[in-house]
Amino acid sequence: MSSNYYIKRDVFFQKLRFIFLLALLSIATTSFAQVRVVTELRDNWKFRKGQDEAAYQKEFNDKSWQTVTVPHDWAIYGPFSKEVDKQEVAIVQNNEKVATEKTGRTGALPYIGEGWYRNTFTLPHYKPGQKVILLFEGAMSEPKVYLNGEKVGEWNFGYNYFYFDVSEHIVASKPNTLAVQLSNKGLSSRWYPGAGLYRKVQVIVKNQESIDQWGTFITTPFVSAGLAKVNIKTKVSGENIRLVTSIVDAAGETVATDETQTIFANEFEQNIGVKNPKLWSPESPNLYTAVTRLYIGNELKDEITTRFGIRAISYQAGVGFSLNGEVRKFKGVCLHHDLGPLGAAVNKAALRRQLQILKDMGCDAIRSSHNMPSIEQLELCDELGFMFLAESFDEWEKPKVKNGYNRFFQTDAEKDIVNLVHATRNHPCIVMWSSGNEVPDQHGAEGVKHAKRLQEIFRREDPTRPVTVGMDQVKATMASGFGAVLDVPGLNYRTHLYEDAFKAFPQGFILGSETASTVSSRGVYKFPVEKGPEKTYPDGQSSSYDLEYCNWSNIPEDDFILQDTKPWVIGQFVWTGFDYLGEPTPYDNFWPSRSSYFGINDLAGLPKDRYFLYRSQWNAQDQTLHMLPHWNWAGREGQVTPIFVYTNHDSAELFINGKSMGVQRKNNASPLHRYRLMWMDVKYEPGTVRVVAFDKDGKPATEKTMVTAGKPHKLVLESDRKIITADGQDISFVTVSVVDEKGNPYPLSNDQLTFSVSGNGKYLAACNGDATSLEQFHLPTMKLFSGKLVVLVQSTTKPGNIKLSVKGKNLKAAELLLQSR
């Protein structure tokens, strides 16, 4: 076996030991010490869409309401409709001058309106006089929160984390009734925002003498091979207290301990040395845990565990970005918060799958677009090794949409930033903050003031990380001084202005904060093969030859060249890693079209051809060899059908039915020739296509074959994981494909399939990646798109076998056995 196998195996067991350690720590906290109990309110929620003036009251009959689990997105179940949030608008970001009807801009899903959630819970561990915190990690949107009939607070920004001290409202040893009112307005978003309690809700019970919510701030101000200084600031409530902190490594060994009684106002500060630290990086995402205990005398009053990483970041003119002393460039993608067929409802298995797909591509960085990330996403980026650009807002004072964040900017921006930073700052993956994206405030002196004010808030709350803004009005920001104010000037597209911006801005480097926006549909190819912007077709699809883009964007090669030739370009974040609901550019005016075409992977998480172009540049450990298009073109016999090859090798030879089409070599004749191998004059004839890639010595390194498939014969099922956790949340993602009688993939099938799940699991959703499909994800039937789709099978809380059955007319059915443990 390769050394890669053993490395991956060792990393797996290291992570397993770490998870076991955290489980032990959790048991110790909640079962033995009983000083802090965290309860997730996941089950037995009651939900109703619509207004109900009495729903906040404790005594209220909600038996007829729908029973749901949280996280929950009420709108993802559809149905899709062109009448939902139909907008007559000119999209400024798309350089539109004339308003036209947009029918899929926010996903064509019914997110608009009011919704109510109710949950009744008891706290048997609660003792009168203790402190109780009610924590929300996101609620879409404008939540108003009631406990036992009394309003305890409200929050405006649907993407923000927030909490309330509800100690005065809790009833001991009796049921407590929580009610949450949510309101989503139309014209409030530029993409599908989701609806409901789409992230976790928790109740935290602790003593009055305790560590404050998000009160721990861990940094590593000095890092070397032999020693790291870990600085821990801990805000607390109480008097005559002392703090003991132990640092535990991934193997469960305590590597350092510190005790202090010296407190500054309400904050302890500890500086702890860790010898021979294992540093965090995308290649080696080593993690530590700080176990912090608060005492009065010898009595334990509170205990928390905080996971962190030891790493050093630096941004310098003439050098660029450095991680742990090594200069590197971000190979990043932008991600919206929705999870395709799951909508906005957070699911860790879905997030993990996304990141694992991106990891294989060679991606090492994520930008949360254009709002605050989920805690689960950050936890996974810590574990799997992704640097993270955490973004805050898509709007400031000047609106992009009528009912967007502009309504709250003046009153809420500071508290929203404070919560973002406090809730997430201990995640080592975060290496940069963003205070905005393509804000119209880029023009004029007022915008410069906003940029400076927001940046100062970030710096005050976290002086260890720089701040950027994704700028699309680059000439305006050069003229106004907007770009010069920023720690990191971020350019969204505008590749032709990089040189001018580098000369105009004083920072000495440029970040590609949003790049490419190439559009394509998985498995769809258009002829003739031509590069160009704003191409549209009657079927509402974009060509997967990866040469189509928007009038404000570009193909991947334009950014590759900047990364490769300009040392002052510190990396890029491609728009986007996965397709997302809403923003169906270039089909904003086309119905049906309700999701994006920008993704390197489609909405189902299936790689498009473009995935392999990026993989050929970004994944230095594994070989890449990928051909396109497919080779089933009945009716095109004798017609020119170009073949592209994406590979990390510099040359390759193409054969059609055994006849050589010649050797192509990467060269600098054009941006395309520099990164792709292209046989532009190939004429289609059915049969076998073979490509042989050569190493630097001209010897065959690897090869790949595709054939013209026969008639579709049977279904094939392949899961990302056959063993899942019996927690009622875990998901196995099963790719369904059609093959001919010899097992060759049939790329044209759009057959209607049906799904059923038996045993200790349930059918959750399906997705085919077709931006024009109006089939509802949660119904157990869907058409294939370009010969594939994905079925989501979810565990129950009971371990055992799960069987997925998939059927289609005139196709041999297929079954797949899974296990939940």
Q: What digits encode the pLDDT tens for the residues 311-359?
A: 999 999 999 999 999 999 999 999 999 999 999 999 999 999 999 999 9
> Taking residues 71-99, what's their average pLDDT?
90
Alpha-carbon gap, residue 28 to 291, rounded angstroms: 11
Q: Are 254 and 248 in contact (CB under 8 A)?
A: yes
Tell me the pLDDT band of 8, cut-offs 50, 70 and 90: very low
pLDDT in tens, 462-488: 999 999 999 999 999 999 999 999 999
Alpha-carbon gap, residue 694 to 413, rounded angstroms: 55
pLDDT in tens, 391-426: 999 999 999 999 999 999 999 999 999 999 999 999
For residue 604, the number of C-alpha atoms closer than 13 Å in the C-beta half-sphere is 31
Active-site residue 438, yes or no? yes
SS3 assignment for 207-276:
CCCEEEEEEEEEEEEEECCCEEEEEEEEEEECCCCEEEEEEECCCCCEEEEEEECCEECCEEEEEEEEEC
> Taking residues 128-144, what's their average pLDDT?
97
pLDDT in tens, 586-605: 999 999 999 999 999 999 99
From 303, 514, 548, 653, active-site residue: 514
pLDDT at 18 over 60: no
Tell me the pLDDT band of 560, cut-offs 50, 70 and 90: very high
> Taking residues 197-204, what's their average pLDDT?
98
What order of strands is seen across the sheet that includes strand 688-694? 659-665, 651-656, 688-694, 700-707
Closest C-alpha to 180, from 213, 137, 139: 139
Q: How crowded is residue 40: how many other Cβ atoms within 10 Å of its Cβ?
A: 11
Q: 477: Cβ–Cβ under 8 A, 6 or more apart, which residues?
A: 442, 471, 483, 489
Instruction: State both tokens at 249.
Output: 């490594």
Active-site residue 653, yes or no? no
Q: Are 290 and 303 in contact (CB under 8 A)?
A: no
End-to-end CA distance of the chain: 29
> Taking residues 197-223, what's their average pLDDT?
98
Q: Which long-range contacts (CB under 8 A, 24 or more apart) does 560-568 make?
A: 560/617, 560/671, 560/674, 560/675, 561/671, 561/674, 562/495, 562/498, 562/512, 563/329, 563/512, 566/498, 566/502, 566/510, 567/320, 568/318, 568/320, 568/502, 568/508, 568/509, 568/510
Q: Are 68 and 45 in contact (CB under 8 A)?
A: yes
Q: 522: Cβ–Cβ under 8 A, 6 or more apart, which residues?
A: 544, 602, 606, 607, 608, 609, 769, 785, 786, 788
Tell me the pLDDT band of 501, cut-offs 50, 70 and 90: very high
Q: How crowded is residue 503: how many other Cβ atoms within 10 Å of its Cβ?
A: 8
The reported pLDDT for the residue numbered 88 is 85
Provide the whole-model pTM: 0.95
Complete DSSP assignment for 323-379: ETTEE--EEEEEE-S--GGGTT---HHHHHHHHHHHHHHT--EEEE-SSPPPHHHHH
From 383, 395, 438, 557, active-site residue: 438
The reported pLDDT for the residue numbered 238 is 95
Q: Round the average pLDDT of the chain to a whole number and report it.
A: 95
Q: Are 764 and 731 in contact (CB under 8 A)?
A: yes
Q: 223: Cβ–Cβ under 8 A, 6 or more apart, which residues?
A: 229, 277, 279, 310, 311, 312, 324
Q: 191: Cβ–Cβ under 8 A, 6 or more apart, which residues?
A: 105, 106, 107, 336, 338, 580, 581, 582, 583
In order of their start, the domains of the chain are: 3-32+209-308 (2.60.40.10), 38-75+111-206 (2.60.120.260), 633-707 (2.60.40.10), 714-820 (2.60.40.10)
Q: Are 617 and 362 in contact (CB under 8 A)?
A: yes
Q: Are 48 and 65 in contact (CB under 8 A)?
A: yes
Closest C-alpha to 177, from 116, 125, 127: 116
The reported pLDDT for the residue numbered 544 is 98
The reported pLDDT for the residue numbered 101 is 87
Closest C-alpha to 784, from 771, 803, 774, 770: 770
Q: Which residue carries 């309003």 as its tokens?
A: 151
pLDDT in tens, 253-302: 999 999 999 999 999 999 999 999 999 999 999 999 999 999 999 999 99
Instruction: State both tokens at 164.
Output: 């309330």
Instruction: State both tokens at 765.
Output: 């959703």
Instruction: State both tokens at 701.
Output: 């390194």
For residue 283, the number of C-alpha atoms closer than 13 Å in the C-beta half-sphere is 9
pLDDT in tens, 604-652: 999 999 999 999 999 999 999 999 999 999 999 999 999 999 999 999 9
